[in-house]
Amino acid sequence: MNLKNWACGLVTLAGLGLAAPALTHGGEPGPGWVQGKGYGWIWGKDDEVGSLNAMTDATRAAALATVKQGETFDLGLNYSRRSYRWPGHNPGEIMSFRSPEGIDRMGDPDAPPREGNPDRVFWHSGALFISDNVATQIDGLAHITAGDDYHWYNGFKEADWGGDFGPRKCDASTIPPIVARGVMIDVAAYKGVDALPKHTAISPSDLKGALKAQGTELKPGDVVLIRTGTARYWEGEGANHTKIAEHDSAGITLETAKWLVEEQGAMLIASDTSGLEVNPPAPGAGSGIPVHKYLLVDQGVHIGEFHNCEGLSLAKVYTFCYIASTNKIKGTAAGFAMRPLGLR
């Protein structure tokens, strides 16, 4: 795009009353993001995607083009019925629905008759009772509501779009497949600790210091992963609740979230804790989870939780191609028990 065409585009957008595209670090317009404002409710009254609209075929191709070695980092954590969870979410149970011995002993209307099954082939299948906010996850934009009308992103209200089977707007099934440049900010390493102590508030200056130490710069449209070190205590399936809880309340402040979105153009923000933000928040924050309200409701920026950054930290990999996709289950408030990848 040449400067003349881009300038004409600004005039056209201004005439329509739409937000002009902001320049990225690479000199090209970044869809939707405006420095000093961030994203917000800018993609029309029916939009359910939020800042992830900033992805284009070109940005996805550029992210994939950064992969040179093919090395893969598993950013997901194993989940079981014993895993650590935030107290506001139910525990999960994975129950055997069919087992080889049970089918053989009890019979099954869907199983072949014994005389037609000389190889004695049977199967396992499971029934799941599980929260939609466990282990590695991405919060859907309907996860958090605000105000007496219980509205969420883009003004969707509970009275109009709630119900007994989950939200009918901005549920996790609306999260598109994500392919983007990922940046891991290793705050724990910058602070010289295995994991940040509980209630540690991560400030913009902390992120700036860590980025400088890493030699890394953020760009609009990045997926930003913040490492506190908490995931090092997951230990297989996250059953050591006491040890995880010693660190899980460390996180970013509202000021930090605003710096990442409004000044740096972060498209998705994640961490290795259950809630991303520091707990408790600063006095006068307006709620117990002001970062969630700001990102999900006000800005339409999705939140990633319990992303495992340990492999990236060990290898000192700070930029990579981030790839993630959620289960397409209507009505879920978050994509849960995920396995996002970092590729370099």
Give the pLDDT confidence of 167-179 residue by residue, as tens digits.
999 999 999 999 9
| For the chain, percent of residues with pLDDT exceeding 90 | 76
Range of the domain at 2: 1-30
The answer to whether 262 touches 38, Cβ cutoff 8 Å, is yes
Residues 72 and 42 in one domain: yes
Q: Residue 115 pLDDT more than 80?
A: no
Q: Are residues 186 and 253 in the same domain?
A: yes
Tell me what the pLDDT averaged over the chain comes to: 90
**What is the pLDDT, as a whole number, of residue 26?**
40
* 258 in the same domain as 211: yes
70, 193: one domain? yes
Same domain, 26 and 120: no
By the 8 A CB rule, do 198 and 251 touch? no
Pair 99, 183 in one domain: no
- 244 and 332 together in one domain: yes
| Band of residue 291 on the pLDDT scale cut at 50, 70, 90 | very high
Helix (H, G, I), strand (E, B) or coil at 320: strand
Nearest CA to 125 out of 144, 102, 97, 155 is that of 97
Q: How confident is the model at residue 91 (pLDDT cuts 50, 70, 90)?
A: confident
Structurally, the chain folds into a number of domains equal to 3
51 and 26 share one domain: no
State the CATH number of the domain containing residue 184. 3.50.30.50
Per-residue pLDDT of 204-241, as tens digits, reads 999 999 999 999 999 999 999 999 999 999 988 999 99
In this structure, the answer to whether residues 154 and 235 fall within a common structural domain is yes
Looking at the structure, do residues 108 and 237 belong to the same domain, yes or no? no
Q: Report how far residue 152's alpha carbon sits from residue 326's, in angstroms, rounded to the nearest whole number.
A: 20
Two structure tokens written together for 260: 């990442």
- CB 251, CB 275: distance < 8 Å: yes
Same domain, 152 and 265: yes
Kindly state whether residues 140 and 241 are assigned to the same domain.
Answer: yes
